[in-house]
Amino acid sequence: MASQDRDRAAALSLQLARAHEELRRLITGIRTDLGHRRLSDDTLVTHCLAFCAALESHHRGEDDGMFSHLLRERPDLAPTVAKLVEDHGMISSILSRVGELAHRATESRGPALDAIGRELDGLAAVMESHFGYEERAISEALDRSGPAADWPDRVFRFGTA
């Protein structure tokens, strides 16, 4: 049984990278839709808000579970985790703006869609930097950590499983 626990832990960094890839795919799809076709108001709001909720859920799972788990075993990662949590706060602010703009877009399309596109472009750049740093900074520690508790579903499945 200990071997299965270790195998599961060793797969956590791969699962984290896959979760990040799914989030990249989602934002790319929304950005592409904004650039190539007119979404209905309801579709735009639904896509943006679903993406925002998925990313927020992923980060809450990291903040409330994965990072605590890692810090118990690796207190030396405290500065790295603090930086990642700070990034989550910045990303959360951008997500709030995207949500507000999506709601405004239901009232007046053109300029609001352009503003959403700019926010999503900025968000995608921040996400890419954040995800890359996170994967480089904690992957080894994550793979060497003990058995995971209840946080993996929240981090890897965005609270939808």
Q: What is the CA radius of gyration of the chain?
A: 17
User: Would you state the pLDDT for residue 62?
Assistant: 93
Measured CA to CA, the distance from residue 66 to residue 145 in angstroms comes to 10
Mean pLDDT by 10 residues, the chain (161 residues): 47 90 91 68 74 91 91 94 96 91 71 80 95 94 78 72 39
- From residue 43, how far is each of 23, 50, 76, 95, 111 by CA, in Å? 18, 10, 44, 17, 17
Measured CA to CA, the distance from residue 50 to residue 52 in angstroms comes to 5
Inter-residue contact 158 to 19 (CB < 8 Å): yes
User: Would you state the pLDDT for residue 111?
Assistant: 64
Strands (E), 20-161: none
